[in-house]
Structure 1
Amino acid sequence: MTTTENALVPTALLVIDVQESFRQRESWQAASDPEVARQVGRLVDFARARGDLVIWVLHAEPGTGTVFDPALGHVRPIEGLAAADGEPVLTKTSHNAFTTTNLQQLLTGRGIRALITCGIRTEQCVETTTRLASDLGYDVTFVADATATEPIPDPAAPAGRTLAEVLADPLTLRPAEIIERTRYALAGRFATVTTLKELTGS
């Protein structure tokens, strides 16, 4: 579906986990785009200008004492981003944005048939939400450069390594590799994979 066609279909932009929690972790120094909030902000402006519904999704892990524990105050949009009046803000405790929220009920109630997905992390919550949305029958557009991720250590590597040690390991998956894998996995099967410039025309 082209951008023009998509504009005629009731559409929502899902801003997934673009939250301060990630900026509190050492691993964010090695993120694919530590300033991804700027790209997301441009996408939010585009969606609002088209009249699309913008839905904000935050990830929380209550009682864990981690940066995702709401008690620490980091479960909020990255500075510079904020929901406008009337834009829903949902808090999830699962990887996808549907299972532990009323997202599908909200979309159904608004007559939404198409979704645009962006956020953190590319291969985790954003990709998982995109896959599930596709299976639920939504026409999904995944904006790759409005997502960001961090290096993924080898699962067999010992725990507790420093970021330097993780980055020095040749078996660590680099962010660029992860994003490319997600692009291949989603394109033509679960979503239209695009860039911010391709979607907005600017």
Structure 2
Amino acid sequence: MDQLRRQFISYDWDSSGDVSKKELVQLIVDVFPDMAHDPEKRPLLLQIMKDADADNNGRLDFSEFLQLMRTVEDLGDLTQLQKERQVIDQTQFTSNEVSEFRSIFLEVTKGEARMSLQDFKEMMSPICPMGDRNSHAISAMWFEICDSTSKMFDFPDFLLMMRRLLDINFANMNQRLHRGPQHRKAW
């Protein structure tokens, strides 16, 4: 809550206790960067802002700001869920495989929502030797898949990478994985 209060204050440039006019424009650009500049998404943006402005005065007080931020979080969750479903369909992993991969992902990330390239390489090193050639190949695939702004993998990106590596039998990993349970446990 303190973080949200600080964020609200950072947009309340005139210390009026609400975010209005020019302050609101900056808030929208920061919170909805895709919608702010996309005319096709403008109706959704206007509806979100209308829903957040409970008293319809064109300004957001702190409680309205909280409502807006909750909507932002909900939209992010929905977008992430849609992305995950689409990737599961695309990769054609079974529900058991997705569950196993989720366990691996969460173990490597220690429960965080994103994975770094370094963590991924460390995870793969017991299965695939991480010499220069393999390391560069994984890095190249990583940057083809990952969000260019964060340079981190979310779980759907991780599934895409695993599908790609399995499909091309990267560094003969399929054979190594089938040799014994010690390799799976390495993940």
Q: TM-score range by the shorter chain?
A: under 0.3
The structure in which a higher percent of residues are helix is 2
Larger RCO, structure (CA 8 Å, separation 6 or more): 1
- Give the TM-score of the pair, scaled to structure 1: 0.22
Task: Give the structure with the higher percent strand.
Answer: 1
TM norm structure 2: 0.23
Bigger-Rg structure (1/2): 2
